[in-house]
Amino acid sequence: MNLFKERDIFFENWLNSMPDGIIVVNNIGEIILFNKQAENLFGYTHQEIEGQKIDVLMPHTYRVAHEHHVANFLHSPSSRNMGESKKEFFGLRKNGTEFPVDISLNYIQTDSGKIAIASIRDITEKKEISQRLIDAMQVMQNANEQLEQFAYIASHDLQEPLKTISSLTELFSKEYKDKISGNGEKYLEFILKSSERMKMLIKGLLDYSKIGKDKQAELIDCTQLVNDVLADLGATIKQCNAHIQVQDLPVLNAYPIELRQLFQNLINNALKYKNKGVEPEVQINVEEQSKYWQFAVSDNGIGINESDKEKVFIIFKRLHNRNEYEGSGIGLSHCKKIAELHGGKIWLESTPTKGSTFYFTIKK
């Protein structure tokens, strides 16, 4: 049956200009209208297909289930997007090939009964793109896991020979104390100091690779956690006469060891990178957002140049040499990994010589 009449030219043009395939089915499952785009999708002309059962356009495996769906739909019709059911739907072309489709269903009550209007879109390209995205994410995840495994194994295995170097150097300097003089002593001291430093770097790398490995989230009172961190840093705080203000902090679900480390690194840096002769002012604030808790640790320290704002989060990256400020360049890379472990991120705002604010978010 062809619904189009001479006087319905406008309607026909409008229907055929639709980007989706439009198929109208009567209450016994017969196709009564098939627009241009549906012809392009399925390879049938509307003359060929109108009057046939809708099943013709479906792969055989869907046909039985579909009969129930049609009966249900016509019994209690409502507009629905079938893609929302998370099921995959396929169309069957005249040439026997199948293609993935999104289907939106609607209905109209007419004098001759209820009719269903299906709007059909070919999602082959959309599926290919999302599959490519899934594949790329998988590749990235594998690469990340391999990198972490590499960091773990490398740092673990590097510890042994280093221990041997340190202990043999100590033995050597003890046993040959009387025979070494002048530069010899200095060189041995350098070797020992460098070994100690390398030990610290390797430990940092090992700790980095372990972040979130045996993770166990629990409810944490952040006020208590920050107070504990401040107690641990008590000697430093006293020494530089720092003033610290902590806002009321929330109780939230997080990884306790990691979160503590995150606060500790940021507060420690806020005290360490202070302007000479200026007492550090440190503020710890929080802002509740719909999906995140956003924390801020601010200081009145030396600040960071705009061009270094991203670099400081790279492992082993330091902006100062060790004579100016002691450190290993690991702390902020840990912070970044910990924020990401909590579904959040970390960034900073800073004015050189005036101070910095490090922000990080924790997903609720």
In the window 6-35, what residues touch ligand ADP (CB under 6 A)? none
Quote the least distance from Cβ 270 to ligand ADP, whole Å: 5
- Of 188 and 246, nearer to ligand ADP (C-beta) is 246
Quote the least distance from Cβ 306 to ligand ADP, whole Å: 13
- Of 184 and 352, nearer to ligand ADP (C-beta) is 352
- Of 127 and 318, nearer to ligand ADP (C-beta) is 318
- Of 119 and 333, nearer to ligand ADP (C-beta) is 333
Candidate list 230, 331, 339, 341; residue touching ligand ADP; CB under 6 A: 331
Quote the least distance from Cβ 330 to ligand ADP, whole Å: 6
Binding footprint of ligand ADP, residue count (CB under 6 A): 21
Rounded CA-CA distance 21/35 in Å is 6
Q: Is 198 in the site for ligand ADP (CB under 6 A)?
A: no
Candidate list 246, 328, 340, 347; residue touching ligand ADP; CB under 6 A: 328
Quote the least distance from Cβ 328 to ligand ADP, whole Å: 5
Quote the least distance from Cβ 321 to ligand ADP, whole Å: 9
Rounded CA-CA distance 159/139 in Å is 30
- Of 66 and 336, nearer to ligand ADP (C-beta) is 336
Quote the least distance from Cβ 291 to ligand ADP, whole Å: 27
Candidate list 53, 329, 363, 364; residue touching ligand ADP; CB under 6 A: 329
Pairing of strands 21-25, 31-34: antiparallel
Instruction: Using alpha carbons, list the distances in angstroms from residue 229 to 170, 261, 268, 306.
Output: 35, 9, 9, 29
Candidate list 73, 273, 295, 360; residue touching ligand ADP; CB under 6 A: 273
Q: Which residues contact 169 (CB under 8 A, 6 or more apart)?
A: 188, 191, 192, 195
C-alpha radius of gyration, the chain, whole number = 34
Q: Is 330 in the site for ligand ADP (CB under 6 A)?
A: yes
Which residue stretch of 86-94, 186-194, 218-226, 264-272 sits at the interface with ligand ADP (rule: CB under 6 A)?
A: 264-272
Instruction: Judge whether 318 and 324 are in contact, CB under 8 Å.
Output: no
- Of 54 and 332, nearer to ligand ADP (C-beta) is 332
Quote the least distance from Cβ 251 to ligand ADP, whole Å: 27
Rounded CA-CA distance 261/266 in Å is 9
Quote the least distance from Cβ 226 to ligand ADP, whole Å: 16
Q: Is 280 in the site for ligand ADP (CB under 6 A)?
A: no
Candidate list 26, 119, 264, 356; residue touching ligand ADP; CB under 6 A: 356
Q: Binding pattern to ligand ADP, positions 284-323, x when CB under 6 A?
A: ---------------x-xxxx-------x-----xxx---
Quote the least distance from Cβ 176 to ligand ADP, whole Å: 35
Beta bridge partners, 22, equal 119
- Of 195 and 300, nearer to ligand ADP (C-beta) is 300
- Of 106 and 275, nearer to ligand ADP (C-beta) is 275
Query: What's the longest Cα–Cα distance across the chain?
Result: 115
Interaction site with ligand ADP (CB under 6 A): 265, 269-270, 273, 299, 301-304, 312, 318-320, 327-333, 356
